[in-house]
Amino acid sequence: MKTTFDFSGRSVLVTGASSGIGRVTVEMLCASGAQVVAAARNVGELARLAEETGCEPLVLDVGDEAAIDEALAPLDVFDGLVNCAGTTVLERAVDTTAASFDNVMNVNARGAALVARHIARAMINAKRAGSIVNVSSQAALVGLDDHLSYCASKAAMDAITRVLCVELGGYGIRVNSVNPTVTLTPMAVKAWSEPSKRDPALQAIPLKRFAEPREVAEPILFLLSDAAGMISGVTLPIDGGYTAR
């Protein structure tokens, strides 16, 4: 896989690594020379990813605080973190339940904060500068039908990004978010195959297309790299212009 980045000698933890954007990010990081720990819940997919890329698989549920502490405690300090684990529940605002809201917030916002907390502590203790990239969403920036919990969780993730940027900057740790539109993972291809759903969404995007996973992973690698050495606290829409309207 061609790439313009060189992460030789650097280690990166990627959560949500077994599919979609997380998986492609792992593939690109490994192809760029990084030592990658790929974390997710799907044991089988992690094993396949490890065989294909040489990454180190780590079974992890970021919605479980105890599991985070147990899984990350034995690991060495990292140079980078990509918080890509995520979940969603589609329901009307008037049908939102406490259970569904809490589940989405626990994974998308609380999980990202707790993983970042652990990784940042280790960076600080080792006096190692680094970069954290949170995979947020255009849903953090606009209101979307049937996405109350998801929109709230991704807006919280962007707020977490800003606070981490302010608190960790003095240690040389940069923190940014990427905010993609619909990204054509295999699951998304199926979910958006119905023209009545797909076509209005495409019309709202000035570029008139959805994102490919690589088009999200490449900006993630950029933000992890030295090329983004003065960029921190940013929420970067990767949405073909959707949020410009």
As a whole number of angstroms, the distance between CA 240 and CA 134 comes to 19
Residue among 5, 7, 150, 242 flagged as catalytic: 150
DSSP code at position 8? T
Question: Which two structure tokens, joined as six digits, stand for 158?
Answer: 């962007």
As a whole number of angstroms, the distance between CA 68 and CA 195 comes to 40
Closest CA to 27 of 228, 221, 224, 177: 221
Helix (H) or strand (E) holding 130: strand 130-135
Q: Has 171 been annotated as catalytic?
A: no
As a whole number of angstroms, the distance between CA 241 and CA 245 comes to 7
Task: Determine the distance from the C-alpha atom of residue 225 to the mean position of all C-alpha atoms in its chain, rounded to a whole number.
Answer: 16
Angle subtended at Cα 96 by Cα 94 and Cα 97, rounded to the nearest 5 degrees: 135
Beta bridge partners of 135: 178
As a whole number of angstroms, the distance between CA 7 and CA 25 comes to 13
Backbone angles phi, psi at 119, to 5 degrees: -65, -40
The string over 140-179, giving b where at least 16 C-beta atoms fall within 10 Å of a residue's C-beta and e elsewhere, is bbbeeeebbbbbbbbbbbbebbbebbeebeeeebbbbbbb
Catalytic residues, by residue number, are: 150
